[in-house]
Structures are given as structure tokens and as C-alpha cells.
């Protein structure tokens, strides 16, 4: 109903001015002032440097007829108050009862949107913050679907670049440390206790074999294995 009233006001404004008028349609603070109210006359008054009360009357005179409205009144120095017929609300209530949880869902609009969420870096364990973002992202996607959007969800795993090299170096350094081999730890390396846990799993799988490999190859294996372990 708010959209229908907004469309009526826009049509009336087109008869008054060619300027684009940005107005709002809100619920009045007091139900005595109707079901909806608009500030369109005040916005128009600022634009034309004119009395909002007179402009509200002019908008009222140019409003198209709408069967759902019982009446429209000018009040409060320039507000337009809209009163919706009771039978319209009764019909909306009946429809809501019939449709249940599907009430209010809009038909597909043909618009598409990609929602990327969580997208946790595989350089550390998932935590409660990731869970919060997962819930938020999925809720946003559901709301968009409800309003007619075709939604594609994406969980992007950023497993490339310098951060992955640093992960491999950090794990390899702890791997060597646990095996009693002094290995330089990277200055900006990952220092969480989980790096030791990953290094222990590498020892379980490879024993000390990674120390025998060329450093570049050992780091690649460390990085790859670390991702798999962390993301489990």
C-alpha cells in the first residue's frame, strides 16, 4: 500500500513540476492522522520557496483516484494524511492467513545478484566471527530472494598470494622446531598455537622427511597441508 500511495503522489507531482522530488511516505505518529502520511509538500515548499500548506492542497487536487483510499486530508501545516478503507486491511489479513509464511513474497524480477560471505582466509581456524558473518550473509541472501532477486551465494577461499607463502613458512619453522632443528621464523609469520598443531600433524605424516627436501618444495607442501588441516 505504501508503494501505491507513493506512486499516486509521484503522478500528482508530475502535474505540478518537472523537477525530481524526493519525499517519504511514513506511518503517522498518531493513528488519528491516518494510515500513512507524506512530507511531499514540505519538500516541494523548499524547492519552490512556497507555503507547504498551499502546495499540499495542490498535490491533493492532482492526486489520481484510488479505490483503496477512504479519504486524503491536508493537515499539520502541510502533511498529507491517507486513510485506507477497512475492507482493504481485512482483505490483506485474509490473504496473509491463506498464504501463511509465503505472504509478502515478490515474484521473480529477473534481477540477479551475487552475495559473497564468510570468505575466511585459510591461514587460521574458523571462529565465532565467521559464524556471525555466515548467518548475516545467508539472511541477506534470503531477504533478497524474498523480494524477487535471483541470488547466487559464494564462499570465496582466498588461498593464493603472500599470505599462503607466509603460512607455509610459519608451519615449516614450527615443524623444524619440534624436530629439534633451528629454523628461522618469518618476521610477520603466524604465531598462534594452531601453527604448532598443524606442524605436529605434518610430523605424523612425514616424520622428518620435509627437512630433506629443497626448501622451496618443502614450503609448498607445508602450505598445502596446512590449508587442508585448518579448513577441516
pLDDT of residue 222 exceeding 80, the answer is: yes
* pLDDT over 70 percentage in the chain: 99
Rounded mean pLDDT, 221-227: 81
pLDDT tens, residue by residue, 136-146 = 999 999 999 99
Q: Which of 131, 114, 122 is nearest to 223 (CA)?
A: 122
Rounded mean pLDDT, 133-154: 95
pLDDT tens, residue by residue, 105-114 = 999 999 999 9
- Architecture per CATH, domain 2-87, reads as 2-Layer Sandwich (3.30)
pLDDT tens, residue by residue, 41-82 = 999 999 889 999 999 999 999 999 999 999 999 998 899 999
Q: Which of 217, 173, 165 is nearest to 196 (CA)?
A: 173
Mean pLDDT, the chain, integer: 90
pLDDT of residue 91 exceeding 70, the answer is: yes
153, 133 in Cβ contact below 8 A?
Answer: no
Q: Residue 163: what pLDDT?
A: 83
Q: Which three cell numbers stand for residue 124?
A: 587460521
Q: Residue 188: what pLDDT?
A: 87
Give rounded-to-5 percent helix, strand, coil for the chain: 55, 10, 35
Rounded mean pLDDT, 88-94: 95
CA distance 57 to 41: 9
Least confident of 62-66, 92-96, 150-154, 227-231: 227-231
Phi, psi of 36 (to 5 degrees): -140, 155
pTM of the model: 0.60
Q: Residue 231: what pLDDT?
A: 66
Output 166 or 69, whichever has higher pLDDT: 69
Residue 42 Cα distances to 59, 61, 62, 112, 231, angstroms = 11, 16, 16, 37, 57
25, 6 in Cβ contact below 8 A?
Answer: yes
Q: Residue 110: what pLDDT?
A: 92
Rounded mean pLDDT, 119-144: 87
pLDDT of residue 9 exceeding 90, the answer is: yes
pLDDT bucket at 182, cuts 50 / 70 / 90: confident
pLDDT of residue 17 exceeding 70, the answer is: yes
* pLDDT over 90 percentage in the chain: 56
Domain residue limits, the chain: 2-87, 105-154, 162-230
Q: Residue 70: what pLDDT?
A: 96
Amino acid at each position: 500500500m505504501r508503494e501505491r500511495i507513493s506512486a499516486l503522489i509521484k503522478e500528482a507531482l508530475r502535474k505540478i513540476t518537472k523537477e525530481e522530488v524526493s519525499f517519504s511516505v511514513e506511518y503517522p505518529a498518531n493513528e488519528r492522522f491516518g494510515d500513512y502520511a507524506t512530507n511531499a509538500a514540505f519538500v516541494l515548499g523548499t524547492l519552490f520557496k512556497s507555503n507547504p500548506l498551499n502546495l499540499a492542497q495542490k498535490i491533493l487536487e492532482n492526486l489520481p483516484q484510488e479505490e483503496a483510499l477512504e479519504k486524503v486530508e491536508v493537515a499539520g501545516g502541510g502533511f498529507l494524511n491517507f486513510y485506507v478503507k477497512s475492507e482493504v486491511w481485512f482483505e490483506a489479513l485474509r490473504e496473509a492467513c491463506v498464504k501463511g509464511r509465503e505472504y509478502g513474497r515478490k515474484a521473480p524480477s529477473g534481477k540477479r545478484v551475487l552475495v559473497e560471505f564468510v570468505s575466511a582466509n585459510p591461514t587460521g581456524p574458523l571462529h565465532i566471527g565467521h559464524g556471525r558473518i555466515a548467518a548475516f550473509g545467508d539472511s541477506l541472501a534470503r531477504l533478497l530472494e524474498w523480494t524477487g532477486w535471483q541470488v547466487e551465494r559464494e564462499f570465496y577461499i582466498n588461498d593464493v598470494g603472500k599470505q599462503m607463502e607466509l603460512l607455509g613458512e610459519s608451519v615449516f619453522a614450527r615443524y623444524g622446531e619440534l624436530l629439534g632443528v633451528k629454523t628461522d621464523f618469518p618476521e610477520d609469520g603466524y604465531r598462534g598455537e594452531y601453527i604448532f598443531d598443524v606442524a605436529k600433524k605434518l610430523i605424523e605424516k612425514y616424520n622428518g622427511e620435509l627437512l630433506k627436501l629443497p626448501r622451496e618444495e618443502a614450503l609448498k607442501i607445508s602450505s598445502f597441508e596446512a590449508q587442508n588441516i585448518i579448513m577441516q
